[in-house]
Structure 1
Amino acid sequence: MVEWLVIVYDKPEADRLSCRQQHIAAVPNHIETGKITNVGAIYKDVDEAGTPKEFIGSTYNIIADSREEILEFLKKDIYYKNGIWDLDSVVMHPYGCFHRVSKK
């Protein structure tokens, strides 16, 4: 198994908030099974106070044997099923973590 850095962008004008709670509800199981080691939203920018604004996609560290396995994982997510994610935009690279810190 390989750890991969995965970025998947939202389709333009996608309303991820409409199914965000369902998406988030699935995350703990994937962490517990060891499928994902890191997950979060990505944003277009930050405001003057440093607050992220405007969702543009998601990022993951996924444990998988292949890019095909990653795509199958993403296709099971509510964001894909509801047309939020643009799978043509997916960026996947094998990832070698040097150091990992838990979110505080």
Structure 2
Amino acid sequence: MTEWVVLVLDKADRAPYRAQHLAGIPPQVEAGKLVCAGAIYNEPKAPGEPRTFAGSHLQVVADTKEEALDIVKADIFAKEGVWDVDNAIVYQFGCAVRQPVSK
């Protein structure tokens, strides 16, 4: 198995599907297919303004690039056209260090 980093930009509003998207993450983690994921953000247009979603970063475990993309395409954001899957950036990834997020 290989780890893949996937960057996929949004092309539509994610709000209507966000709860369903978040509910789909734990099964992928438990299956060992998703090891890291999260939103990426646009720079605020002006100081103090809220950040907006630009897309998502995912680290997927799969045998091939095609399988990694299939995992991404199974997400509700892909199925509903939120993600621009056709233009996703996908590279093999060799993790040198991984630390849990501290809050």
TM-score, normalized by the shorter chain, greater than 0.5: yes
List alignment gaps of at least 5 residues for structure 1.
none
Whether 2:86 is the aligned partner of 1:91: answer: no
Q: CA deviation at 1:48?
A: 3.9
Higher strand proportion: 1
- 8 Å contact kept, 1:43–1:52: no
SS in 2 for 1:94: strand
SS in 2 for 1:83: coil
Whether 2:52 is the aligned partner of 1:54: answer: yes
Count of aligned residue pairs for this structure pair: 101
What's 2:2 paired with?
Answer: 2
List alignment gaps of at least 5 residues for structure 2.
none
Superposition RMSD in Å: 1.6
Q: CA deviation at 1:3?
A: 0.5
Q: Which amino acid aligns with 2:18?
A: R
Identity among equivalent positions (%) equals 42
Between the aligned partners of 1:99 and 1:71, the Cα distance in structure 2 is 24
Between the aligned partners of 1:66 and 1:3, the Cα distance in structure 2 is 9
Map 1:39-50 to 2 at 5 A: 39-46=37-44, 48=47
Displaced runs of 4 or more, over 2 A: 46-49
Q: CA distance change for structure 1 residues 97 and 79 in 2, over 3 Å: closer, same or farther?
A: same
- 8 Å contact kept, 1:75–1:81: yes
What's 1:18 paired with?
Answer: 16
Q: CA deviation at 1:80?
A: 1.0
TM-score (norm 2): 0.89
